[in-house]
Structure 1
Amino acid sequence: MDITIISKETIKPSLPTPNEHKFFKLCLFDQLQLITYLPMVLFYPKKEGHSEISHIITQLKKSLSETLTIFYPVAGRRKDHTFITCNDEGAVFLEAKVNHTMVEFLTPPKLEYLNKLLPCEPNKMHSYDEDLPQVLVQVNIFNCGGIAIGTCNLHTLLDGCSGSLFQTTWTAICRGCNDDLPRPDLFSASSFFPPLNNLNLHDHVGKKKNNEVLDGQKKCSTRRFLFGLESINILRYKAKEDDESFKFPTRYEALAAFIWKHMTLACKMEEFEDIKRPSLAMHILDMRRRMGEPFSRYTIGNILWPVMVFCETIDEETDIKYLVKICKEKFGKISRELFVRVKNGPSMLGSNECVDLPQGVENRSPIPVVLTSWCGLNFSELDFGWGKPLWGGVRGGDQETLPNVAVIMETHQGMEAWFTMEIQHIANLENDIEFLRFALPNPSVSNIYL
């Protein structure tokens, strides 16, 4: 798969950032994030009436420049553990040629080449002293005239919700809808959760040891499975409590429990001694709705809360009904009152009140599984002026990254889950018959193009 970079430049804000905004204060939860890029690739097939590619590239650059003026911290660089210097250094913008048609690339999606459509290596952990751009963009032009836009947002400031708002604003400006732009709330996060000057939680992360990979990273492979609406409904039915007074679990709760079980089983199949290892699921929850004012979907920052759910034993007989139950119990404890206590005493972040795990669990080497939902983040609605994307991809290939991570997204067919697991474990996951019984094959997209 030949993908050639033909140009690279830096896009600066259309207007300089005022002096009073030169230093942007991060929030406490920004400080807690690993320094890594969140990826997304959106595919737009060529349609009748499309402008010339040169005009499209020009419009993308111009609208990105205007968007950076509104999101001025995104054009800056992190210079300290507590703030971003808003120096208008800008976003990196690459243009690439793909020596294939979009149909060839997407029938079925070539995940092993997906990272080549991204402007940098996704999900790689960087050290805190690196001078990194907040946003990178790669515009990929296929032989057929279709376009795939790959973006990488630095997790320092932009979580999934913030990144979605940034791209929603960019697309609106690009298609000429400047009158009703969503305005970012840049200050509520750091006002409510101010940064700590002496925070050292990640001193052990992001440092090289004898030229080895960064701590926590392993050689991983990415796979994607599509779950149809019928499959999701079956899972929700299986996961419902027998008591009629209990509501059906949400789509995320049912699918996340199912994924947790089978990712754990895939890891346990590798070594016999792993059979008795417990499992630990980390659900990454958006705090905005649970917090309420002053937060909203326009609040910029990593307004995220990790919910740890421990399970002593997961095996073939484990009922996802039980896994949903213990997850819902933990979710129910996450409230505004908890966040206010953290605001008033940030040191409690490492306490059992926040982590809520059995004593000594860290000495038992539990199998970790990270689950996060990008449902409702509007990526499938992003229209630069050529219509909504045909499909959106996250990442692919084999790379050094955090293992056992699953990202769940909405699709028109149901939901899809992207798995990043260690190379030796991913085959176990694929061979799990019960898992694949619910997973539908990759949908054919050729009829949409032709």
Structure 2
Amino acid sequence: MRTKFEMAALSPNPAMQDLKLTFQLSTLVFPAQQTDDHKTLFLSNIDQSLNFNVQILYFFSPNPDFPPDTVVTRLKLAVEKVLVPYDFMAGRLKWNHHSARLDLHCNAAGAGFMAASSTFSLDEIGDLVCPNPGFRQLVVQTLNNLEDEDQPLCVFQVTSFKCGGFAIGVSLNHILLDGLAGRMFLENLASQAFEDKPLAIIPCHNRRLLAARSPPLISFPHPELLKPQFPVLGRPVSGSEKELDFKVFKISSSDVNFLKAMVAKQAAADNATAVKITSFNVMAALIWRCRALSLCDVEGNKDRVFTMCYAVDLRSRLNPPLPPEYCGNAILPAYASAKCRDIEKWPLLKLVEMISEGIERLSDEYVKSAIDWLEINKGIPYGDCVLTSWLRLGLNEVVFPWGKSLYCCHVVNNLERLCWMFPYVDGVNILIQRPAEEMERFQFHLLNLIVA
């Protein structure tokens, strides 16, 4: 048995649930130049299925050249400028009864912009890696004085701390952008916060590149997609009403390498030389096993099938490939599925192999079949666990005039099936949000695997 391990589990700090904010500014901001406010942007079937908000949070150390008031002014101007090439982000979603689809009206109705201050310092908040529900206060999603149909699709917030440090929160409806497009948008936003920089990347707004075929042709089964009993398109995805625990599991690079070496040893013994033993595949297999076994412990049904879904970028998988600067959602879920009793007894190698096969399954024809399935069935991605990886997004590498962030993270929500994997200085962080009993069992199984 391995006795030295470096995994740590971080829980929210109860003392930091209320960050004691005072808001100085809550307003709409508009494109800096005239845009075509009668334009309607086509949304792909993938876009249509992702109607929920994602929150990104950047923390910055104090910078004497950029006090928080200056940051507010510069960022507000940057948002106004970037809303010209990204005019759809100042638009509003409207349900088209004729086509039974959401349309994105580029009507220049505005994006949200907030400025606030906290009575705490960054040091008093403590470890920024902790999955603190209080951080939701740093990424406001709605403006108080607007009706639901008038709410902006994206909101930007600057919050200053008494030490001179500050946070920038960005809330985006996922319909607008996927992770890679979001990274490109943030690079462009940062470029416009400088006084004399052009856009970092020219976005490609042609979402019809991912339109369904006519007529649609479903050539594969798609268990990773669900046709709901009642129509859900056009409605925001709602979170769980259960009380959830939030934890970040810090897996050190030595623990990741230990697991990869363990899988490589199993592969060598089985002469399974084709298995791709990447950090993502191994960590996804680890999460799959621990989530399946923890749910099995609670439900007591080892014959239950547990499906793991994980987002895969499609840009290079299509023929011809999408432009790298494609601006929209070019992701679909890969999946791996098995009974809990098999997930428990199989070696980790088998699970890694199935995770890898799920990614390889996403060929050009498979992707087009999935898009056509969504066209006919008006469904949504679905799995018992849905994993999103930020390992290669590089969100923490975005350079603003005031420098790179001290820390960049996702903000916890109540979408209990979702979990996230993101990098930290020496390893991988895993954010899990589950009911307390299941979270306890997840941690038990995770620890058992790492020290096995």
TM-score by shorter chain over 0.5? yes
> Which amino acid in the other structure matches residue 253 of structure 2?
L
> Which amino acid in the other structure matches residue 45 of structure 1?
S
Q: What are the superposed Cα offsets for residues 375-409 of structure 1, whole Å, 9 maximum, x if unpaired?
A: 2222111222111111112123xx6x222322111
Q: Is the 8 A contact 2:418 2:432 kept in 1?
A: yes
Q: Is residue 2:117 matched to residue 1:97?
A: yes
In structure 1, the residue corresponding to 2:403 is in which secondary structure?
A: coil
Computed over aligned residues only, the root mean square deviation of the Cα atoms, in angstroms, reads 3.2
> Which amino acid in the other structure matches residue 279 of structure 1?
F
- Seen in structure 2, the aligned counterparts of structure 1 residues 433 and 414 have a Cα distance that, compared at 3 Å, is closer
Of 182, 202, 205, which aligns to 2:201?
A: 182
Q: What are the superposed Cα offsets for residues 76-121 of structure 1, whole Å, 9 maximum, x if unpaired?
A: 0011224211111111111111111112213364433222211138
Q: Is residue 2:403 matched to residue 1:387?
A: yes
Alignment correspondent of 2:87: 72
Of 117, 127, 132, which aligns to 1:107?
A: 127
Alignment correspondent of 2:45: 28
Q: Is the 8 A contact 2:334 2:359 kept in 1?
A: yes
Alignment correspondent of 2:8: none
> Which amino acid in the other structure matches residue 309 of structure 2?
M
Q: Is residue 2:429 matched to residue 1:416?
A: yes
Alignment correspondent of 2:137: 116
- Looking at structure 1, the residues matched to 319 and 168 of structure 2 have their Cα atoms a distance apart, in angstroms, of 33
Q: Is the 8 A contact 1:222 1:395 kept in 2?
A: no
- Looking at structure 2, the residues matched to 204 and 219 of structure 1 have their Cα atoms a distance apart, in angstroms, of 26
> Which amino acid in the other structure matches residue 233 of structure 1?
N
- Displacement of 1:156: 1.6
- Looking at structure 1, the residues matched to 301 and 176 of structure 2 have their Cα atoms a distance apart, in angstroms, of 37
Alignment correspondent of 1:225: 249
Of 300, 310, 323, which aligns to 2:351?
A: 323
- Looking at structure 2, the residues matched to 345 and 13 of structure 1 have their Cα atoms a distance apart, in angstroms, of 36
> Which amino acid in the other structure matches residue 416 of structure 2?
P
Q: Is the 8 A contact 2:129 2:248 kept in 1?
A: no
- Seen in structure 2, the aligned counterparts of structure 1 residues 265 and 345 have a Cα distance that, compared at 3 Å, is closer
- Displacement of 1:13: 0.7
Unaligned runs of at least 5 residues, structure 1:
122-128, 356-361, 439-450
- Displacement of 1:16: 2.0
- Looking at structure 1, the residues matched to 233 and 377 of structure 2 have their Cα atoms a distance apart, in angstroms, of 21
> Which amino acid in the other structure matches residue 323 of structure 2?
S
Q: Is residue 2:254 matched to residue 1:237?
A: no
- Displacement of 1:430: 2.9
- Displacement of 1:180: 5.2
Q: Is residue 2:447 matched to residue 1:434?
A: yes
Alignment correspondent of 2:211: 193
- Displacement of 1:344: 7.2
> Which amino acid in the other structure matches residue 292 of structure 2?
T
Alignment correspondent of 2:222: none
- Seen in structure 2, the aligned counterparts of structure 1 residues 435 and 173 have a Cα distance that, compared at 3 Å, is farther
Q: What are the superposed Cα offsets for residues 229-263 of structure 1, whole Å, 9 maximum, x if unpaired?
A: 21211122222322263355111000010011112
> Which amino acid in the other structure matches residue 158 of structure 1?
L
Q: Is the 8 A contact 2:21 2:116 kept in 1?
A: yes
Alignment correspondent of 1:337: 365
- Seen in structure 2, the aligned counterparts of structure 1 residues 105 and 318 have a Cα distance that, compared at 3 Å, is farther
Q: Is the 8 A contact 2:292 2:340 kept in 1?
A: no
Alignment correspondent of 1:306: 333
In structure 2, the residue corresponding to 1:275 is in which secondary structure?
A: coil
Q: Is the 8 A contact 2:390 2:422 kept in 1?
A: yes
Q: Is residue 2:103 matched to residue 1:83?
A: yes
Alignment correspondent of 2:33: 15
Q: Is residue 2:304 matched to residue 1:291?
A: no
- Displacement of 1:222: 2.1
Q: Is residue 2:169 matched to residue 1:150?
A: yes
- Seen in structure 2, the aligned counterparts of structure 1 residues 195 and 142 have a Cα distance that, compared at 3 Å, is farther
Alignment correspondent of 1:406: 419
Identity of aligned residues (%): 22
Higher mean displacement: 10-19 or 138-147: 10-19
> Which amino acid in the other structure matches residue 407 of structure 1?
W
Alignment correspondent of 2:3: none
Q: Is the 8 A contact 1:32 1:201 kept in 2?
A: no
The total of aligned residue pairs comes to 406
> Which amino acid in the other structure matches residue 299 of structure 1?
Y
> Which amino acid in the other structure matches residue 238 of structure 1?
M
Alignment correspondent of 1:61: 76
- Looking at structure 2, the residues matched to 244 and 270 of structure 1 have their Cα atoms a distance apart, in angstroms, of 34
Alignment correspondent of 1:254: 282
- Displacement of 1:278: 2.2
- Displacement of 1:71: 0.6
Q: What are the superposed Cα offsets for residues 268-304 of structure 1, whole Å, 9 maximum, x if unpaired?
A: 2223x33332211111111112126451331111111
Q: Is the 8 A contact 2:248 2:432 kept in 1?
A: yes
TM-score, structure 1 as length reference: 0.81
- Seen in structure 2, the aligned counterparts of structure 1 residues 3 and 279 have a Cα distance that, compared at 3 Å, is same
Of 159, 167, 182, which aligns to 2:186?
A: 167
- Displacement of 1:204: 3.8
- Displacement of 1:72: 0.7
Q: Is the 8 A contact 2:275 2:356 kept in 1?
A: no
- Seen in structure 2, the aligned counterparts of structure 1 residues 258 and 345 have a Cα distance that, compared at 3 Å, is closer
Q: What are the superposed Cα offsets for residues 7-49 of structure 1, whole Å, 9 maximum, x if unpaired?
A: 2111111012125x6211111211222x2101111111013x3
